[in-house]
Chains A and B, each alone.
Chain A
Amino acid sequence: MTGTITISLHLNGEAVTATLPARMSLVDFLRETMGLTGAHVGCAHGVCGACTVRVDGAAVRGCLMLAAQADGATVDTIEGLTDTGAIADLQDAFHRHNAVQCGYCSPGMLITAADLLDRATLPDRAEIRDHISGNYCRCTGYQAIVDAISEVATARTKGAA
Chain B
Amino acid sequence: MTLGKPLPHDSAPLHVTGQARYVDDIPLPAHALHLAFGKATIAKGRVTAIDLDPVRAAPGVVMVLGPADLPGDCDTSPSAHDEPLLSDQVHFHGQPLFLVVADSHLAARRAATIARVTYETETPILTIEDALAANARFEDGPRIWTRGDVAAALAAAPHHLEGRIEMGGQEHFYLEGQAALALPGEGGEVHVIASTQHPTEVQHKVAHALHVPMHKVRVECRRMGGGFGGKESQGNALAIACAVVAAQTGRPAKMRYDRDDDMILTGKRHDFRIDYRAGFDATGRLTAVDFIHYTRCGWSQDLSLPVADRAMLHADNAYFLPAVRIESHRLRTNMASATAFRGFGGPQGVLGIERVLDHVAHHLGLDPLAVRRANYYDGPAPSGPGTGARYGGPHSPSSPARNTTPYGQTVTGFALHDMTDALAQSADYAARRAAIRDWNADQPILKRGIALTPVKFGISFTLTHLNQAGALVHVYQDGSIHLNHGGTEMGQGLNQKVAQVAADAFGVGIDAVQITATDTAKVPNTSATAASSGSDLNGMAVLAACDTIRGRIAACLAELHQCAPDQVRFADGHVKAGGADMSFAEAALTAYQNRVSLSATGFYKTPDISWDRIKGQGKPFYYFAYGAAVTEVVIDTLTGENRLLRADILHDSGASLNPALDIGQVEGGYVQGAGWLTMEELVWDDAGRLRTHAPATYKIPATSDTPPVFNVALWDRANPEATVRRSKAVGEPPFMLGISALMAISDALAQACPGVYPALDAPATPERVLMTLRRMRAG
Q: Which residues of A contact B (CB under 8 A)?
A: 1-2, 28, 31, 35-45, 47-48, 50, 77-79, 82, 91, 94-98, 100-107, 110, 125-126, 128-130, 132-146
Contact = CB atoms under 8 A, between A and B. Distances in A.
Given A35-B27, A98-B660, A45 B173 contact: no
B715 interface: no
B20 interface: yes
Nearest to B259: A43
B703 A129 contact: yes
Contacts of A82: 17-18
B703 A103 contact: no
A100 B175 contact: no
A41 B257 CA distance: 11
A136 B15 contact: no
Contacts of B25: 31, 37, 40
Contacts of B12: 94-95, 98, 100, 103
B21 A37 contact: yes
Nearest to B672: A138
A54 B226 CA distance: 25
B259 A102 contact: no
Contacts of A139: 226, 491, 664, 668
What are the 10 A-B residue pairs with the smallest beta carbon separation, nearest first? A38-B18, A102-B491, A103-B15, A104-B225, A101-B491, A141-B667, A141-B671, A37-B25, A78-B18, A47-B695
B242 to A, nearest CB: 18
Interface in B1-38: 6, 8-9, 11-22, 24-25, 27
B176 interface: yes
B8 A98 contact: yes
11 contacts: A100-B16, A100-B491, A101-B664, A102-B491, A103-B225, A104-B225, A129-B704, A134-B702, A136-B173, A138-B226, A140-B664
A138 B701 CA distance: 8
Q: At the interface, is chain A mostly helix, strand, loop or mixed?
A: loop
Contact of B226 (A1, A104, A133): A104
Among B22, B176, B702, B705, max chain A CB count under 10 A is at B702
Contacts of A43: 259, 694-695
A152 B72 CA distance: 57
Interface of B: 6, 8-9, 11-22, 24-25, 27, 59, 106, 172-177, 223-228, 258-259, 490-493, 660-661, 663-664, 667-672, 694-696, 700-706, 708, 710, 712
Contact of B175 (A50, A110, A128, A134): A50
Contact of B17 (A38, A39, A104, A129): A38
Among B223, B492, B667, max chain A CB count under 10 A is at B667
Contacts of A102: 174-176, 223-227, 490-491
Given A77-B18, A95-B8, 20 more contacts: A36-B18, A38-B17, A50-B175, A78-B17, A95-B13, A98-B9, A100-B16, A102-B225, A103-B9, A103-B12, A106-B15, A135-B703, A136-B695, A136-B702, A138-B175, A141-B664, A141-B669, A141-B671, A142-B701, A143-B667
B175 A44 contact: no
Contacts of B694: 43, 45, 47
Contact of A96 (B8, B24, B59, B174): B8
A139 B670 CA distance: 10
Given A91-B16, A104-B225, A42 B175 contact: yes
Contacts of A40: 22, 24-25, 175-176, 225
Contact of A133 (B18, B21, B224, B702): B702
A121 B491 CA distance: 33
B175 A137 contact: yes
B20 A103 contact: yes
Contact of B664 (A48, A78, A98): A98
A131 to B, nearest CB: 9
Nearest to B7: A98
A142 B177 CA distance: 20
A97 B8 CA distance: 7
Given A47-B695, A95-B13, A133-B702, A138 B667 contact: no
A77 B708 CA distance: 30
Contacts of A128: 703
Contacts of B172: 138
